[in-house]
Chain A
Amino acid sequence: MSLPMRIVTRVGRTLLLMLFVAAGTILLVRFAPGYFADSREMDAKYAEAARSEIQAENSQQQSLSLIAIREVKGWIKGDFGESRQYHVPVAELIGARIRVSALLLAEGILYGWLIAICAALPVSSLRKGGLLFGLPFTILLAIPAAAMATACILAETGGPVLVLSLLISARDFKFLRSLLEGEWRSPHLLQGRAQGLSPLALVRMHILPSVVPQLRALATLSIVTALGALVPIEVIFTVPGVGQLAWSAVMNRDLPVLVAVSLLMASVVGFAGLLSTRTLTLEEA
């Protein structure tokens, strides 16, 4: 396939993905319990006002097609509609937060990978004691993100980047060690060691080139893991990013914001998939 054709296919795929995700999000959120509920209804002082607001909204939000039309209008206008909880354009809400989340994700994934690779390389080459040296990462897997965050707060050190990197490194370490152990045991590596090649040379010339496809696939997995961890970390540390906004949108059933966040998620997932696709395409070529 020619390059322009591949680009067109990739763009088309991403747009289709976003369409499906938007439709799915609208369906899920609209029919989830509590869509027409407002916590102010429980407050004797504000209940009446809340109820009138809900009734007014009800007439516009009952029909799926009306909701979908409003969403599409928002995309065309470029503001992605109006937030149900904040009554401001969704683009304004998200625009301010994308940079914060992108930075947090990038740092978390980068540091997580560095920690995992630097640990996995030597540990995977050991004949014995791998389990023991991998113990810190096993412990990290066991500790919930909220507990790590509390530990940071109590110790007055560390932060969201640390917690995200540790979460990612714990998962990546397991995969990397598993992958690299297999490589260390392959016959040509054993021969290389027997012939006196330095471990660093073996890693550079033999191991890394052969695990690159799996590394790309793991990169995809890392990005997806990081996306999943973003929400609890931003909420716990009160980071003003997309994850925090998404959580508030879930609790308030803010459909326009949720659609926009899902579209963002779809585009990141699509990009993450692109990473591993490219390698396969080269191999096939």
Chain B
Amino acid sequence: MYKLLRSSLMSAGLVVILTLSAPGQAAPRQPGELAWAIHYDPKTFDPAKVDEQESEFVRYLTGGVLLRINRQTQQLEPHLAESYQVSPQGTLIVFKLRSGLRFSDGTALTSGDVAWSLRRVLAPATQAVVAEEFLLPAEVTVDTPDALTVRVHLPKRIIGIGKIFDEIAIEPANRPSEGRVTSGPFTVTDYKRGQYVRLSRNPNYWRRDSSGAQLPYASGVRLDILNNREQEISLFLRGEYDLIDRLSPDYFSIVAQKSPQSVRDLGPSLNTEQLWFNEFPGAPLPEYEKAWFQNQSFRVAVSEAIHRSDLARIAYDGHATPAYSFISIANQLWYNHDLKYPHESTADANRMLAASGFHRSGNQLYDASGHPVKFSILTNSGNPARQKMAAMIQQDLAALGMQVTIVALDFPALIERLLHKQDYEACLLGLSDVEPDPSSEMNIWMSSSPNHQWNPSQKTPATPWEAEIDKEMQIQASSSLQHDRKVAVDRVQQIVADQQPFIYLLYPSALQAISPQLKGVQPAILSPGPFWNIEFIRRQGGAR
């Protein structure tokens, strides 16, 4: 029997041996290399074909651009272009390149390469997303009077044209290399799908620091492909990762506890969380439900019943700010400081519903025709903060007698219901990577747009207020006067606050974790967040 019992000890011993293996270590770090995680494989390394976030990060780190937006000041700064001028009519931009520019392989970078890169982006065959920002890309022309001058001819003025060039990487003419030959701070040197992307310093990068030392300071960047938050945090706390972009609120306190100097709460971001109702007339919903959702009083009552401060405190652990507009309060240039919006008050909400023909019987609210007010809120699975918000909204609306069911779907199924079939009642989602300029949201606010979520692709505006929003958004997109634009955007914000097509809930805070070993970091709210000034970032004592 002892021999048999010994075998049970063997069993335990095997477990111990297996336990000694490591759960997952990051690949060994090269000297001077920075490292952090991205959540998915970049779909492409071709900077002209970037159409999702992880590829955008790689383009940011490798692509040399004519102009770069300083993510802290939001001002345009010359990069490959030493200077630029926009004609008074706004239809001609002239760039003067710096002299002596080289690609990472040592070949000269001239106006020919810039023209080729621009034309490639504008070409319909490339299907570059950034081409749409030129409004009429087919009518844009580029010429090069000399090796250092590039002239871009636009068919019409484009507000904020400069920022578009922040997204166009300059590549060697006729030699697209998918990030292997670049004019930016790094080049792609290794990629293992599902594991990592490795970038190395561009030895011919144009930029130098104030003492004349060549940039970037770091010898390279390793982007590990990792979609497990627990592992990411564990590796960060062990010092194997240098930063965490988009730290989630429930992990903020854990990291803060273990490494207080690492965490950054930069305050409200430009992102928003919002709830909206399906107002599409052709939606496969009963007519009485459509009547509720198209009723302004119904929407305003729902907005008044939701306790936004609780959502911020509980669902986001205090790392969010109540929201009432699509422009974040962090966007000081565009936020309407005189905005009048429905305030939190369940009593007012009840009164508003009663005035609109709804009545209560026990715990159930009924409409004027006697239908119980029951509807579902659709949201995406895998977002714990949003699911907590949904459960809290469910309770808040129960106080009005509304019975709400929460349905969390995976993204493809959600998008099919939302955008293809319009088969939903209410939806809770967020808008992320929002840009400061309201022009970037034209395709949400224009009633004819497929992204005009509550009632998309309208042939003519369904309501007078949507017609007014269309008009004001056109004004802000075409006027060159900041004051006129601001007035128009303020008016749109007020209409949205009055009509509540989107019931804005929160502005989540920008949460980041940055290793105390890093020097030169200037965290910003705008993407790419902590590493927007990557050339100046290095690990302590481990630069060149």
Instruction: Give me the interface of A with B, judged by CB distance under 8 Å.
Output: 32-53, 85-87, 93, 96-97, 111, 114-119, 121-123, 125, 133, 149-150, 152-154, 156-162, 165-166, 169, 198-200, 203, 235-238, 240, 244-245, 248, 251-253
Given A37-B412, A37-B420, A245-B194, also A157-B4 (CB < 8 A): no
B129 and A114 contacting across the interface, CB-CB below 8 Å: no
User: A38-B415, A156-B238 known; A122 and B5 CB under 8 Å?
Assistant: yes
Candidates A51, A97, A121; contact of B194 at CB < 8 Å: A97
Interface residue? B283 (CB, 8 A): no
Is there a chain A Cβ closer than 8 Å to B429's Cβ? yes
Q: Is the CB of B8 within 8 A of A123?
A: yes
Contact segment of B18-26, B82-90, B242-250: B18-26
A200 vs B19: C-alpha distance when bound (angstroms):
29
Cβ < 8 Å to A, chain B residues 408-461: 409-420, 429, 431, 433, 440-441, 443-444, 450-451
Q: Mark B1-27, 1 if CB is under 8 A from A, else 0.
A: 101110110110011001111111000
Task: Identify the closest chain B residue to A151 (Cβ).
Answer: B23
Chain B contact residues, CB within 8 Å of chain A: 1, 3-5, 7-8, 10-11, 14-15, 18-24, 40-41, 43, 51-52, 127, 129, 132, 192-195, 225-228, 230-231, 234, 238, 409-420, 429, 431, 433, 440-441, 443-444, 450-451
Min C-beta distance of A257 to chain B, whole Å: 12
Contact B23 A238 (CB under 8 A): no
- 8 A-B interface contacts by CB (under 8 A): A34-B416, A43-B433, A86-B41, A122-B8, A125-B4, A153-B24, A157-B20, A158-B19
Contact B4 A240 (CB under 8 A): no
Q: Which residue of A lies closest to B18 (CB)?
A: A162
Residue of A at shortest CB range from B37?
Answer: A238
Residues from chain B with Cβ under 8 Å of A43 in the complex = 52, 433
CB-CB nearest in chain A for B5: A122
Contact of A86 among B19, B193, B225, B409 (CB under 8 A): B193
Q: Are A150 and B230 in contact (CB under 8 A)?
A: yes
B228 touches A237 (CB 8 A): yes
CA distance in complex: A14, B5 (Å): 43
CA distance A115 to B12 in the complex (A): 7
Chain A contacts of B194 at CB under 8 A? 97, 238, 240, 244-245
Q: Would you list the 5 A-B pairs with minimal beta carbon distance, nearest first?
A: A34-B412, A118-B11, A240-B194, A37-B415, A122-B4
* A199 contacts B19, C-beta separation under 8 Å: no
**B14 x A86 contact (CB < 8 A):** no
Given contacts A49-B129, A245-B194, contact A199 B3 (CB under 8 A): yes
State in angstroms the CA–CA spacing of A37 and B40 once bound together: 18
**Contact A251:B412 (CB < 8 A) given known A44-B451, A48-B443, A118-B10:** yes
Q: Compute how far the CA of A42 lies from the CA of B271 in the bound complex, rounded to whole angstroms.
A: 14
**What chain A residues lie within 8 Å of B412 (beta carbons)?**
33-35, 37-39, 251-253
Select from chain B the residue with minimum beta-carbon distance to A93: B193
The CA-CA distance from A39 to B43 in the complex, in Å, is: 13
* Contact yes or no, A251 B411, CB < 8 A: yes
Residues in chain A near residue B14, CB distance under 8 A? 111, 114-115, 118, 165
On whether the beta carbons of A165 and B234 are closer than 8 Å, the reply is: no
Bound Cα distance from A63 to B4, whole angstroms: 62
Q: Which of A36, A125, A157 contacts B1 (CB 8 A)?
A: A125
| Sample of 6 further A-B pairs with CB below 8 A, known A37-B420, A154-B230 | A36-B416, A37-B416, A37-B419, A115-B11, A115-B15, A123-B8
CB distance from B137 to the nearest CB of A (A): 12
